[in-house]
Amino acid sequence: MQQTSIHQTTPKRDAAHNTDTGSSISATVVKELTEDINHMLSFAIYNGIIINTEINTLIQSTAIDDLINAHNLLCKNIAPATPKSIQYTQKIYKSDSSRSLVSKLPLIRNLIILALVFLTAFIITGLSPEVNNDSLDKGIMENNGINLLLNLGFLTSISGLGVLFYLLKNVSSAIKNGTLAPEDSIYYTALIVLGVIAGIIFSEIISFYKTEPGGFNLFSKSVLALIGGFSSDAIFSILQGIIERIKIVFIPSNPS
């Protein structure tokens, strides 16, 4: 249909130029924007996600403002997934079909191997006669030598199993929901270290405040280490919140 005269006299806007600001947008950026929209539409349709029908009109326009609005609406529709995570997940599934998901995704393979290492360490240290209720009750302050090493290895293995239990469940959910991103491997590596540290500290510090010497046994120490490893992310957030409150008390904000 022929456009009206008011549209004909208006300067033409294309996807690579914004007449309101007079600044041009790179054709590469416009291409990436269009690809993101297509990926998000495909993801939403495949997973049965309800799409805002307003997007249909926006994606048929060549105006950059309309494409950006369509991109914003789709990001809300597919949340918590993102264009980056969707493209990363699609790339994994489109790779060599003869390979299993574990071999396609090194992150899962490494987590499973590390879980088996911690499980082996747990069995070996648990079979040792030096690891028992009495030696665990003494903690790191009263144990020494091989006893201390074996007991710390026992608690470390349990803490590691706790954090890996959390991470493997989290990765499985991320793949299912399309929220897994390439940089998550760095986050998971740091969280494993935090989980092991949190598990050891959690089990040892709490035992310091127990008035009855026989109150903590093998089961209690193991549970504390497991909880510390599994909830390392939450423990870090709690400690950070406490530090922020302490800073507010001792370091008052500057008057405006």
Give the chain as a 3 state SS string.
Answer: CCCCHHHHCCCCCCCCECCCCCCECCHHHHHHHHHHHHHHHHHHHHCCCCCCCHHHHHHCCCCHHHHHHHHHHHHHHHCCCCHHHHHHHHHHHHCCCCCCHHHHCHHHHHHHHHHHHHHHHHHHHHHCCCCCHHHHHHHHHHCCHHHHHHHHHHHHHHHHHHHHHHHHHHHHHHHHHCCCCCCHHHHHHHHHHHHHHHHHHHHHHHHHCCCCHHHCCHHHHHHHHHHHHHCHHHHHHHHHHHHHHHHHHHCCCCCC
Q: Which pTM does this prediction carry?
A: 0.68
Pick from 144-148, 195-199, 233-237: least confident: 233-237
Q: Which two structure tokens, joined as six digits, stand for 122?
A: 């747990």
User: Is there a contact between 164 and 194 (Cβ–Cβ < 8 Å)?
Assistant: no
Q: What is the pLDDT of residues 20-40, one digit of tens each?
A: 444 577 788 888 888 888 889
Q: What is the pLDDT of residues 174-232, one digit of tens each?
A: 888 888 888 888 888 888 998 898 888 888 877 544 445 555 455 578 888 888 888 87
More confident site: 4 or 169: 169
Q: What is the pLDDT of residues 51-100, one digit of tens each?
A: 888 888 888 877 888 888 888 999 888 888 888 888 888 887 777 666 66
Q: Is the pLDDT of residue 117 over 90?
A: yes
Q: Which residues pair with 24 in a beta bridge?
A: 17
Q: Which two structure tokens, joined as six digits, stand for 253?
A: 């904000």
Of 136, 101, 142, the residue nearest 224 (C-alpha): 136
Q: Which residues pair with 17 in a beta bridge?
A: 24
pLDDT, residue 219, reads 55
